[in-house]
Structure 1
């Protein structure tokens, strides 16, 4: 399924969905961060996705990271909360979603990076490599909040 991201775009379609989601900044012992290249928009992104009924947001973060990257993690903190009404995701099936996500900090416990049905590539990156990667600004904001120790207010 394709996805188009709109960020503060007056031509964005009207939102018809608000779904709790989790994303994760996974950092290994060498200080590298785990990123995936998404199939739906071709951009590099953090692992994450929507919360299922019956699971907690941290459980969602663990599940989504394992499903999307092959890495099992332990959640060790929170990077921030992100709910910018100006960031809208439009999907091919007609869903137009406003962002609502808690970004967690995680550490890898086991597994090897592996692409999934949602990604074309999964890799570890050093902090200084992140700036040159194509990604949407809201993902870059989360990474910058982690990298530079920002303690964001609710975004």
Structure 2
């Protein structure tokens, strides 16, 4: 479903929902970051999506990563919790979500890179190549926090 992201935009529509979102920050042994090009907006992002009823939040991150990238992961930590009220996402069906995403640190345990209906490209990206990709600013915060490998997760 196509979407439009708004960031601190006074003309943005008012949010009418809040959904538990998850992303997974995964690096390979060479320090490259697992990234997808999203089918719904063409921007590059960490793999992720919405938690479903009946699953835990970490399990949602594992499932979404596998679905979108073909890579099997296990959760090894927390990068942060991201809930900036000025970031809203409008969908074609009228839903307008306020950002709420938990970004987990994960490591690959299997699988092979594969695209999906949600990802037009999947790959391991060198950190220095990130500046050349179209990445939403709020997603870039999560990536930068993951690259820092701080002991304390981001909360905000």
TM band (smaller chain): over 0.9
RMSD over aligned Cα atoms: 1.1
Q: How does 1:76-87 map to 2 (within 5 A)?
A: 76-87=76-87
- Where does residue 135 of structure 2 map in the other structure? 135
1:77-120 Cα offsets, whole Å, 9 max, x none, are 10000000000000011110001111001111111111100111
Checking the alignment, whether the CA contact within 8 Å between 2:79 and 2:154 is kept in structure 1 is no
- Where does residue 72 of structure 2 map in the other structure? 72
Partners of 2:125 and 2:114 lie apart in 1 by 15
Unaligned runs of 5+ in 2: none
Partners of 1:141 and 1:28 lie apart in 2 by 20
- Where does residue 107 of structure 1 map in the other structure? 107
Shift of 1:131: 1.7
Q: TM-score, normalised by structure 2?
A: 0.95
Partners of 1:10 and 1:95 lie apart in 2 by 18
Checking the alignment, whether the CA contact within 8 Å between 2:78 and 2:153 is kept in structure 1 is no
Partners of 1:37 and 1:136 lie apart in 2 by 11
Shift of 1:128: 1.0
Shift of 1:149: 3.7
Partners of 2:136 and 2:49 lie apart in 1 by 15
Shift of 1:153: 4.2
Unaligned runs of 5+ in 1: none
Shift of 1:39: 1.0
Q: How does 1:42-53 map to 2 (within 5 A)?
A: 42-53=42-53
Is 1:89 matched with 2:104? no
Inter-CA distance 54–103: structure 2 relative to 1 (3 Å threshold): same
Moved more, 145-154 or 67-76: 145-154
Partners of 2:76 and 2:139 lie apart in 1 by 19
Shift of 1:152: 5.3
Partners of 1:152 and 1:86 lie apart in 2 by 21
Aligned length: 155
Partners of 1:75 and 1:149 lie apart in 2 by 14
